[in-house]
Every structure is written in C-alpha cells, then in structure tokens.
C-alpha cells in the first residue's frame, strides 16, 4: 500500500527500477488476502471453490492496477477524476461481494483494501465516509447474517490501513509538489540565463553596430572628398566588426569581461567618429572589479545613446570612486521616456546587484541627456 515517487533527475533505467518497486510494494500487501483465499480453497463444492478463488485473484489484480494507475497520475501531477475513482471503488466492492459464496464471512477482509483505496483516490470527506462504512460493516453483518462472527480484527485493520494510506497519500502529494517546485526552479534558471545572454548581446552589439554605422556613413561622405580618410574609416569598420564578432563569441561561451578603462578608450573613438567632442577623464580611479565592470557598462550605454539618438555636439564623462556620469548636449533618445530601452533595463539589472542607483534625466539647463550610476557607501547612503 506504499507508493514510491521517482526523483525527477533519475535516468531512465533507475525510473524503471522504481516503477518495479512501486508494483512490488503495492502487491506485497495482498498477502492479507490469504484468509479468504484459504477459505475458498477448502470449500467442498467445486463451484464455490472456483468462484471464491477467482474472486480473490480478480480482486488482488484489480487493486494493484487501480493503485498503480492512481500513483502514475500523481507522479505526472495529474488530478484523479472523482467519478472514475468512485466507479473503481464500486468495482472492487462488487468483486468482493461476488465471492461471498466461496469466501463466506472472510470476504470482509477485502474491505481493508477498499477503505485504503478510498483514502488514496477520493477527496477527504468522501474517503472518510467510505472508511466509516467499511469499519461498521463487520459488526453489523455479524448481527444480520447467521454464522458470521464479529471480526474485531477486520475493524482494526480497516482503521490502521486507512491511517497508513492517509500518510502515504500526503507523502506522495508532498513529493509531487517538491518535484513541481524543482522543475519550476530549473525553468526559471534557464529563463534567467537566456535573459542574461540576450541582455549582454544587446549591450555588446548595440554599441558596436552603432559605431560601425556611424563610421560607414562617414566613409561614404568622404569617399570622393578624402579617399585616404575614407579608407581609414573603412579599416576601422572592419576592425570593429571583428571585435563585435569576438565579443559575441565570448558572450556565448561565458560572461564577457567589461572594464572602465577599455570602455573609455572605445568611447573616445566612437565619439570622434560621430563628430562629437569628447571630454573624458585622464585617469581612472582604482575600483573593485564588480564596480569597475558596472561603470564600464554605464559608459558604454551612455555613449551609445549619445551617438545613436541625441544629435549631440559634446559629451562629458565624469568618474569618481562612487559614481560615473555620462552627459551630452543633445536631445536624448527620441520617442523614449526616461529609463526606456533594453540597454537601460539591462544596466538597471546590473546596478541592482550592487544596490546602485541609476539616474536617467535631462541634463542641467533642460537640454541634453544625463545618465548617472551611483554606488552607496558602506553606510548604505548614496554618494555623489
């Protein structure tokens, strides 16, 4: 009467092993049907003997099949149809009653299995009713049917088996809930990894392709006016395309390292290609690795917005140990509210890991775009 749920991370051969174990544990309890079986075996009349033996065997087979059907549905997190459960219990009871001519009063032993099956199959209230009726049947029938003795052991067995099956069913339910929770955790982990990869690819390619587009446009304008300068810009486009490809490969393979110094150097090149005057810090302060990476992503996002959207003529980047700021004198991302865009969403996600604050606003004076990331100090207050 004990069900076994296989762990979700088992391989197929182990699952077959546990499935066999479940069948075995369901069948071993049928040993208690030996009482009506022996009674039928010693019937003097052949037809009684055959009917009794056939009913006991049919009852045992039906019980095991019903139990395994219900256990399989629980393992797959499927509900047990109440109507079908009632019909199956009625079938068990009918098989037990059919065998009365061959098993006599010992057919009452089958009520133990009917009660246990009811606990496993039916809702709590209905199963409680079935258990009460099964426990009350032996003393009642002993008074109504001559020759049938009041079997107190059957009453005790009904109650004990029902209580045990209640524990087994609750355990099976908890195991199913645990498996569902584990599957959900795995699904969320995969979704988070996909979101991280998509965010990194957007941030990497968005910046690189923006610079490529600006340099290609500049090369097209210079093609007739200054072929040598146009060739230089085309060479830069080729270099940037190769770097973007390397970045994508690095992102697919693992987390791509970003540092502030490299991003400032890239910002100088991108702003110059876009014809934007750049005002950048000469030196970079010593920063923890996680903060250095966050500030690098901030510079990348701010410069990408300045080159792609703003129409700016000047871009200023300020860095100190607690904050980084990118400010231009353009019009900001066209048609986007503050904080919109995949890049800024990804930046906020990265900043949240360090409890940093991301500020997106108009620059002082009402013209221009301001992006600032501020990291709290050790006392939890924002600095800068």
What secondary structure does DSSP assign to 139-158, as a single string? HHHHHHSTT----HHHHHHH
Q: Which residues of 216-231 are buried (b: 16+ CB within 10 A; e: fewer)?
A: bebbeebeeeeeeebe
Structure tokens at 90: 């009625």
Pick the CATH number of 258-384 from 3.10.250.10, 3.50.50.60, 3.20.20.70, 3.30.565.10: 3.30.565.10
Structure tokens at 132: 């009460």
Phi first, then psi, for residue 282 (nearest 5°) are -75, -35
Tell me the pLDDT band of 356, cut-offs 50, 70 and 90.
Answer: very high
For 71-104, how does the pLDDT look when each residue is reduced to its tens digit (9 = 90+)? 888 777 788 899 999 999 999 999 989 988 888 8
- Kindly provide the b/e burial profile for residues 92-130, where b requires at least 16 CB atoms within 10 angstroms of the residue's own CB: bbebbebbbbbbbbbbbbbbbbbbbbbbbbbeeebbeeb
DSSP string for 292-344? HHHHHHHHHHHHHHIIIII--SEEEEEEETTEEEEEESS--STT--TT-SHHH
How high does pLDDT run on average in the chain?
A: 78
Triad 180, 181, 185: Cα angle to 5° = 120
34-38, 93-97, 183-187, 357-361: the lowest-pLDDT one:
183-187
Instruction: Give 6's DSSP letter.
Output: P
Instruction: Please give the pLDDT value at position 189.
Output: 63
Query: Is the Cβ–Cβ distance between 202 and 342 less than 8 Å?
Result: yes
- Averaged over 24-50, what is the pLDDT? 80
Decide: 342 and 364 in contact? Cβ < 8 Å. Answer: no
Contacts of 199 (CB under 8 A, 6+ apart): 342, 345, 346, 349
> pLDDT-derived band of residue 149, with 50, 70 and 90 as boundaries?
low
pLDDT at 84: 93
Per-residue pLDDT, 251: 61
pTM, full prediction: 0.46
Please give the order of strands across the beta sheet that includes 369-374. Answer: 277-279, 314-320, 323-328, 369-374, 357-362
Kindly report, as residue ranges, where domains of CATH 3.30.565.10 are found in the chain: 258-384
Q: Which residue in this structure is represented by tokens 């109507």?
A: 83
**42-46, 165-169, 368-372: which has the minimum mean pLDDT?**
165-169
Q: Output the pLDDT for position 339.
A: 45
Residue 360 structure tokens: 């997106």
Query: Has residue 24 got a pLDDT over 60?
Result: no
- Report the percentage of the chain scoring pLDDT > 70: 74
Sequence-separated (6 or more) residues with CB below 8 Å from residue 360: 338, 339, 344, 370, 371
Residue 187 has pLDDT above 50, yes or no: yes
Question: What is the per-residue pLDDT for 28?
Answer: 56
Closest by Cα among 278, 364, 285 to 319: 285
The answer to whether residues 278 and 271 touch, using CB atoms and an 8 Å cutoff, is yes
Task: Name, in order, each residue with C-beta under 8 angstroms of 207's C-beta and a sequence gap of 6 or more.
Answer: 266, 270, 300, 301, 303, 304
Say if CB 222 and CB 229 are below 8 A apart.
Answer: yes
Q: Which tokens sit at 159?
A: 């109650």
The burial of 33, by beta-carbon neighbours within 10 Å (0-12 exposed, 13-18 middle, 19 or more buried), is given as buried
Give the pLDDT score at 311: 74
């Amino acid at each position: 009467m004990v069900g076994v749920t296989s762990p979700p991370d088992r391989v197929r051969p182990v699952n077959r092993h546990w499935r066999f174990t479940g069948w075995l544990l369901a069948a071993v309890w049928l040993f208690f049907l030996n009482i009506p079986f022996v009674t039928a075996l010693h019937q003097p009349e052949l037809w009684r003997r055959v009917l009794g033996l056939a009913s006991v065997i049919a009852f045992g087979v039906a019980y095991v099949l019903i139990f395994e059907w219900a256990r399989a549905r629980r393992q797959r997190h499927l509900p047990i149809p109440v109507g079908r459960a009632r019909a199956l219990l009625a079938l068990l009871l009918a098989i037990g009653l059919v065998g009365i001519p061959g098993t006599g009063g010992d057919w009452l032993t089958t009520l133990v299995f009917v009660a246990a099956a009811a606990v496993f199959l039916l809702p709590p209230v209905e199963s409680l009713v079935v258990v009460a009726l099964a426990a009350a049947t032996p003393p009642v029938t002993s008074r109504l049917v001559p020759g049938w003795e009041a079997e107190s052991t059957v009453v005790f067995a009904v109650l004990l088996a029902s209580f045990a099956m209640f524990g087994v069913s609750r355990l099976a339910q908890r195991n199913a809930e645990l498996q569902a929770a584990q599957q959900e955790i795995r699904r969320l982990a995969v979704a988070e990894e996909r979101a991280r990869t998509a965010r990194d690819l957007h941030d990497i390619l968005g910046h690189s392709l923006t610079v490529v587009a600006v340099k290609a446009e500049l090369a097209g304008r210079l093609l007739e006016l200054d072929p040598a300068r146009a060739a230089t810009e085309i060479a830069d486009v080729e270099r940037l395309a190769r770097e973007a490809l390397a970045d994508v490969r690095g992102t697919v393979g693992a987390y791509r390292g970003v540092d502030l110094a490299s991003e400032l150097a890239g910002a100088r090149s991108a702003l110059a290609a876009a014809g934007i005057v750049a005002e950048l810090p000469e030196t970079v302060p010593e920063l923890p690795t996680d903060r250095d990476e966050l500030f690098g992503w901030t510079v990348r996002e701010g410069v990408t917005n300045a080159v792609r959207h703003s129409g700016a003529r000047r871009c200023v980047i300020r860095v100190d140990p607690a904050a980084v700021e990118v400010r231009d004198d353009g019009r900001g991302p066209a048609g986007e509210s503050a904080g919109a865009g995949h890049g800024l969403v990804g930046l906020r996600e990265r900043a949240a890991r360090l409890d940093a604050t991301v500020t997106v606003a108009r620059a002082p004076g009402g013209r221009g775009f301001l992006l600032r990331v501020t990291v709290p100090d050790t006392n939890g207050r924002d600095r800068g």
